[in-house]
Structure 1
Amino acid sequence: MDALTLLKSRNSAAKLCAPAPNDTELQDIFAAASRAPDHGRLRPWRFLLIRGEALSALGDVFAKAAMERDPAVTEADCQRFRMQPLRAPLIVVVIARIEDHPKIPVIEQQLSAACAAHGALLAAEALGYAGIWRTGVNAFDPNVHKALGLERSEEISGFLYIGSRDGQAKPLPVLEMSDFVKEWR
């Protein structure tokens, strides 16, 4: 598939199954992610791979964080949080590393990490895999951050659930450029 076709056709896949990219393919995915726009070459991102038994451990982290946020949370809710990471054979946690920089504002660093995440999703799709970018309450929970070993200057940009598409891709609407592109004069 040529690059432009890939860019115009990639869409999120909520249903994923094994296999996930292997270590060699992950090197290609992260090489593509590392080409994100990066003012000052700060490389304000890092990635945390979660796969295998660690997926269940992440589910336990999510459930424990839910109980910390709301002591009245039900066991059914906790079980739902435990199951979330099991939706894919691989989760890539995209972490923005924010630096106090005199010339590069925080938003540029956050956007650079987001571009790296998008690059990873595009590369996974180019290799024949699929994924979905999820955030939700756990991306912003300090207990989740602590459990995942984030530093004070780091934040989660998203959880990339990656694997093989389970079923057909949902059709995406064709957008009219005129709906979101205007020429300033």
Structure 2
Amino acid sequence: MDALDVLLNRVSIARLVEPAPRAEQLDTLFAAAMRAPDHKQLRPWRFLTIQGEARQQLGELFVSALLARNPQAAPEAVTKARAMPLRAPLLVVAIACAQEHPKVPVQEQVLAAGCAVHGMLLAAYAMGLGAIWRSGDLVHDPVVMSGLGIADHEEIIGFVYLGTPEIAPRKPSAVDLSRFVTAWPA
């Protein structure tokens, strides 16, 4: 697949089914992540893979987080939290690992980690895999962070859901670039 095609046509794919990416495909995704722009080559990121039975364990962790925030949570909310990790055959927890550095501020390191995730999404699309980057309250939840072993200097920047697209990816809609690009001075 042509690089510009990937850049211009990648879309998030929420409906994912088996099979999960194969080991060599995962290696390619992580290799793509390593090519993110990264001042001083700090590589301020790491990833956790969650598949198989571990998805049910993550669902129980999500339920624990929900009940810690709201002990009176509706049964439907508990069921939803438990099922979230089952929406794809494989999840990757993307973690920004900022380091103290005199020339690379924390914000820049977090942005670099985000670029690493974007590289994974582009590589997934190029290989015909389905992927979607999800975030929400759970990425900041102390119960989730503790359960996943997130250190004090780290933060979850998202959950990347990966699998086989259930249906063909949609075509992205055209974007009016003039809404986002202006010359300076005006």
Pair in the same fold by TM > 0.5: yes
Secondary structure class of the residue paired with 1:62:
helix
Alpha-carbon RMSD: 1.0
CA distance in 2, matches of 1:5, 1:89: 26
Q: 1:148: which partner in 2?
A: 148
CA distance in 1, matches of 2:51, 2:30: 16
For residues 137-172 of structure 1, the C-alpha deviation after alignment (integer angstroms, 9 at most, x for no partner) is: 111101101100111111001000011111132332
Q: 1:46: which partner in 2?
A: 46
Q: 2:167: which partner in 1?
A: 167
CA distance in 1, matches of 2:139, 2:115: 17
Secondary structure class of the residue paired with 2:174:
coil
Displacement of 1:9 in angstroms is 0.4
Secondary structure class of the residue paired with 1:79:
helix
Q: 2:103: which partner in 1?
A: 103
Aligned 8 A contact 2:17 2:165 in 1 = yes
Q: 2:14: which partner in 1?
A: 14
CA distance in 1, matches of 2:105, 2:6: 31
Secondary structure class of the residue paired with 2:132:
strand
Greater displacement, 100-109 / 130-139: 100-109
Secondary structure class of the residue paired with 1:84:
helix
CA distance in 2, matches of 1:24, 1:171: 27
Secondary structure class of the residue paired with 1:163:
strand
Secondary structure class of the residue paired with 2:173:
coil
For residues 164-183 of structure 1, the C-alpha deviation after alignment (integer angstroms, 9 at most, x for no partner) is: 11113233210122121112
Q: Specify every segment of 5 or more residues in structure 2 that has no aligned partner in the other structure, as ranges.
A: none
> What aligned pairs does 1:1-185 form with structure 2 within 5 A after superposition?
1-185=1-185
Runs of 4+ in 1 over 4 A off after TM superposition: none
Secondary structure class of the residue paired with 2:46:
strand
Secondary structure class of the residue paired with 2:47:
strand
What is the TM-score of this pair, normalised by structure 2? Answer: 0.96
Displacement of 1:58 in angstroms is 0.3
CA distance in 1, matches of 2:180, 2:98: 31
CA distance in 1, matches of 2:138, 2:175: 31
Displacement of 1:184 in angstroms is 1.5
CA distance in 2, matches of 1:41, 1:7: 24
CA distance in 1, matches of 2:153, 2:45: 11
For residues 104-162 of structure 1, the C-alpha deviation after alignment (integer angstroms, 9 at most, x for no partner) is: 11110100000000000111111110111000111110110110011111100100001
Q: Specify every segment of 5 or more residues in structure 1 that has no aligned partner in the other structure, as ranges.
A: none
Aligned 8 A contact 2:131 2:161 in 1 = yes
Aligned 8 A contact 2:9 2:171 in 1 = no
Secondary structure class of the residue paired with 1:184:
coil
Instruction: Give the total of aligned pairs.
Output: 185
For residues 16-68 of structure 1, the C-alpha deviation after alignment (integer angstroms, 9 at most, x for no partner) is: 00112111111111111100011111100001000000011100000010000
